[in-house]
Structure 1
Amino acid sequence: MSRHTTIAAALTDLLFTPGLSLDEAADRHFAPDYRQRTDGRWDDRGGFLQHIAHLRTVVAEGGVDVLDELTDGRSYADRHTVRITKKDGGTVETEVYLFGEFAPDGRFRRAEETTLLLQGSPADRNLGTAR
């Protein structure tokens, strides 16, 4: 297997790198057959990219802190926090528990995650699946 991506690199490119197109960011880190389940909701790559496109209209800046990360062959697991400052000035911090699988080329093929809102309004609870 080639060198694999990480969730920090993927989220930084998707959400926090102005000027990088959504398609280019996605192609760097996610295989064509990518699927994701967030808090029980499954999306294919197209649905995931709709979600990220929406977040790009909401997020002004932010960052990712990886607290724990483990890879074993094609398996990936991590616990990370995402800090976001929204364009309306609100702030959100979410802790994410993620289990995933890499494609042979090192990009993510699948991710299953559960989120925990640490800071933000009750409306921000669904930011992980918002469209």
Structure 2
Amino acid sequence: MKPLEGTTPEQFVADFFTSYVQDVVHSGDDPGPLADRYYAPDIVQISDGMELDREGLLAHARTLRKNLLDCRFEVHEALAAEGRIAARFTIHARMRKGPAVAREVHMFGELTPEGRLRRVTQLSRTLPATAVRPEQEQR
């Protein structure tokens, strides 16, 4: 992943997570080397109080491989400065079982000079069903 040069923070966040899902989740290749393009080896991600390291992220990717049909990231706002990034975005996802879901995420992260995430703290909430667009349900 390239650093923020030449792009807005909003576009960086959208591209980062969209590419991650395409490369790591929807690829048949070993997720480890693919995830290393996006996350530093010493990654620590805290999502809603649950801490994951690299192995935890890979386990989550394997679960998504089995269950996620597709998703998109709607970035509402993002700021970046001095190797840090903050963003508020919504993940719209369709899983193999159940209705489409939408989750709002507030993310604060530390980037390596190459643009990989080293530390991430996220708070999220599931949005009401009215936030899920009808076209997501019909796919």
Q: Do these two structures clear the TM 0.5 threshold for a shared fold by scoring above it? A: yes
Show structure 1 runs of 4+ deviating over 2 A. Answer: 4-11, 13-25
Equivalent pair of 2:107/2:120 in contact (CA under 8 Å): yes
Choose from 3, 14, 27 the match for 1:8.
14
Structure with greater Cα Rg: 2
- Counterpart mapping for 1:43-58 below 5 A: 43-58=52-67
- Counterpart mapping for 1:73-84 below 5 A: 73-84=82-93
Secondary structure of the equivalent of 2:85? strand
- Counterpart mapping for 1:22-61 below 5 A: 22-61=31-70
Instruction: Summarize the Cα distance change of 1:24–1:9 in structure 2 as closer, same or farther, 3 Å threshold.
Output: farther
Work out the CA distance in 2 between the residues paired with 1:50 and 1:7.
Answer: 22
- Over the matched positions of the two proteins, sequence identity in percent amounts to 30
Work out the CA distance in 2 between the residues paired with 1:53 and 1:7.
Answer: 22
Work out the CA distance in 2 between the residues paired with 1:20 and 1:67.
Answer: 31
The TM-score normalised by the length of structure 1 is: 0.79
Choose from 74, 93, 97 the match for 2:102.
93
Equivalent pair of 2:3/2:113 in contact (CA under 8 Å): no
Query: What amino acid is aligned across from residue 84 of structure 1 in structure 2?
Result: A
Where does the alignment leave 5 or more consecutive residues of structure 2 unmatched?
130-139
Count of matched residue pairs: 119
Work out the CA distance in 2 between the residues paired with 1:105 and 1:119.
Answer: 37
Equivalent pair of 2:105/2:125 in contact (CA under 8 Å): yes
Task: Give a deviation string over 1:59-115, Cα, whole Å, max 9, x none.
Answer: 101100111111001111000100001112521100000001011222110100000
Query: What amino acid is aligned across from residue 15 of structure 2 in structure 1?
Result: A
Where does the alignment leave 5 or more consecutive residues of structure 1 unmatched?
121-131
Larger % of strand: which?
A: 1
1:7, distance to aligned residue in structure 2 (A): 3.3
Larger % of helix: which?
A: 2
The TM-score normalised by the length of structure 2 is: 0.75
Instruction: Summarize the Cα distance change of 1:7–1:45 in structure 2 as closer, same or farther, 3 Å threshold.
Output: farther
1:29, distance to aligned residue in structure 2 (A): 1.1
